[in-house]
Amino acid sequence: MPDATDATDADGLTVGQVSARLGVTVRALHHWDEIGLARPSLRTAAGYRLYTADDLERLHRIVVYREIGLGLDKIRAVLDDSTADVPGALRAQRTQVAERIARLQQLGAGLDRMIEAHERGLLLTVEQQAAIFGPQWDPDGPAQARQRYGDTTQWRQYAERAASRGPEEWQAVADAMAGFDRALGEAMDAGVAPGSPEANRLVERHREVFASYFPLTRQMQVCLGRMYEADPGFAAHYDGIRAGLAAWFRRLVDADARAHGIDPDTATWQ
């Protein structure tokens, strides 16, 4: 038995031949036939559909209109309604296409920023970084962090936040961190005790401020507290605010962790 998509006739083209010529699926041709949008004018003796030259011309127009985004109902109106405002319909579609292009260009720009943020971390010039974070800021820090943490979930979260931030947003982050540092120093001067309500509020505030970079669990915060005390760079920063501040803040974090059932000695980055 012959295949319906391969049957031939001197007076027309089969569904398979039209599908190959126009680059549309046989299923689409069958659907257009069923809804009366583009019916083949001929049939072979075996009952196979055959498309004439006029049928093919109509199909060409359908394919063009579909490619520019017209729906099948609109295509039918353009082809069959003698009162249809074809230029008007095409202008309206052109407007929609232009809007879609603009949205795609915005999406492309966003993707470029996301890629760059994953690779660089901060999307700021060296001059902008110095102005926001201060002259002591190391512009190579983000690249070093990328080398150390680039394969972690937290780096991906950080990059996603960084991709949407410009200088003003980063200034707000820097101001929040600076405000927290001042509050920490003042609390140490005031003799705030680890485990006290005021101390616990400071620990909670630290997590909230730090969330500008990535979400911070209590266990992760314990690990950061250790690093603030042990890492020379972090220790120098906090001890530069108040002598012994890094070790004191770690005690605040550990006391808060214990109050929530976490053993600081065994806490891990999770």
- Mind listing the pLDDT tens digit for each residue in 114-146? 899 898 888 999 999 999 988 888 888 888 888
pLDDT of residue 68: 86
Question: Which DSSP helix (H) or strand (E) runs through 49?
Answer: strand 49-50
Calpha distance 119→229 (Å, rounded): 29
166 Cβ contact partners less than 8 Å away, ≥ 6 residues apart: 123
Distances (CA, A) of 38 to 1, 13, 53, 106: 27, 14, 12, 37
Give the Cβ contact number of residue 58 at 10 Å: 18
The residue to which tokens 């950061």 are assigned? 224
Please tell me whether residue 41 adopts helix, strand or coil conformation.
coil
- Mind listing the pLDDT tens digit for each residue in 167-186? 999 999 999 999 999 999 99
Task: Give me the count of residues in the chain.
Answer: 270
Calpha distance 100→58 (Å, rounded): 27
Calpha distance 93→22 (Å, rounded): 22
**pLDDT higher than threshold 50 for residue 7:** no
Mean pLDDT of 12-23: 93
**pLDDT higher than threshold 50 for residue 25:** yes
Model pTM score: 0.67
Mean pLDDT of 245-250: 96
Q: Whole-number mean pLDDT of the chain?
A: 90
pLDDT level of residue 8 (50, 70, 90 thresholds): very low
pLDDT of residue 181: 95
Give the Cβ contact number of residue 140 at 10 Å: 9
Calpha distance 57→51 (Å, rounded): 10
